Structure 1
């Protein structure tokens, strides 16, 4: 006579899931709410993604490149020449533009004398070596002194960029953050090169 099949206690993983209770719905709502607030806080105060809508920063940045903008460190480490920044342009750029976010490269620092002539940018009389340009500038500008707590910003695509040579200087309080990392497209994933300049 065959032995009867052994009997095992029911396994926990075969039990039906417990029915959600009012408390579990409250906990889930709290978790989701906290996650949303955390994401909004990070985006508002720490970092946020941005995409490139124009060709003004060619060849460095292309249309639809996706970047992470660092909104914290420039408050503690001053902006330097060559930083790529996102900002709201001054009112002098036009009311419709003043509400938009632009992205350009920092060229002139507070107190410096900047001039564009003979297809070069001069800072305190010394020409900058700019190997990141789409083309050298075909316009004249300045000389002008960069005001305190302000910056001169220009696009890398010098002759096709609505930037500081049209509307002047960007006050520090209109800067949103510094471009830190390109995360899309994946084939160009990584940090943005920072040029090394000779001291003007």
Structure 2
């Protein structure tokens, strides 16, 4: 009679020895994800109210713009040019894309609306409002064609936002100084996750649908 002998089980590695390896792997994964895929940002100012309030937290997709450029209506985080900053250490800005390269943007039409390539924007759903009323689209007139490789960006709280329309005013209509290079964009803010009671997806407003392509585009 032949008796099969089972191989002796290998001694199990104690968990305390595996823990440093697991922690190391987790840290590496977290670093890679933060550097290339997703990152959280907090909102330091009122420039995007009421869409985003001070100390809100958003999740930013850092990978999406490796495959395409930012689109109108998206909320983006970018490295602000030095002349945009009131504090040199305030590097990361968050704004809404209003115009892409080649777009003709005008403020304002007879109904006091910003137009992009001739289409008027209904910005009421996201412009800042309080008991005193809704922000104006802009406190200064502008007529600009967005230079190649650049974006026209504005905060939703226009009266408290250092953005393209503010730089247009400060630089006497310099289209380059009033826009940001696409290469400075960190990523797209796509969800407000904190506070949990205000959690929501940051979608593109419908007013940006159907904007014609820029002339010659």
Shorter chain as denominator, the TM-score bin is 0.7 to 0.9
Paired position in structure 2 for 1:199: 211
In structure 1, which of residues 173, 177, 180 is the aligned counterpart of residue 190 of structure 2? 180
Q: Could you tell me which residue of structure 2 aligns to residue 145 of structure 1?
A: 145
Structure 1 gap ranges (5+): 1-17
The TM-score, its normalising length taken from structure 1, stands at 0.80
Q: Which runs of 5+ in 2 are unaligned?
A: 1-10, 129-134, 168-177, 213-217
Q: What residue number does 2:81 align with?
A: 90
Residue 133 of structure 1 is matched in structure 2 by: 127
Give the corresponding residue for 2:60.
69
Secondary structure at the counterpart of residue 32 of structure 2? helix
Deviates more, 1:176-185 or 1:111-120: 111-120
* CA deviation string 1:106-125 (max 9, x = no partner): 00110011122364212123
Q: How many residues align?
A: 180
Question: 2-side partners of 1:113 and 1:36: how far apart?
Answer: 46
Tell which deviates more after alignment, 150-159 or 89-98: 89-98
Aligned pair in 2 of structure 1 residues 115, 98: CA closer, same or farther (>3 Å)? farther
TM-score (norm 2): 0.75
Deviation at 1:99? 5.4
Larger radius of gyration: 1
Deviates most, 100-109 or 84-93:
84-93
Contact conserved, 2:85 with 2:91, CA < 8 A, in 1? no
The answer to whether the Cα contact below 8 Å between 1:86 and 1:179 also exists between their aligned partners in 2 is yes
Equivalent position of 1:15 in the other structure:
none
RMSD: 2.3
Cα distance 1:83–1:138, how it changes in 2: closer, same or farther (>3 A)?
A: closer
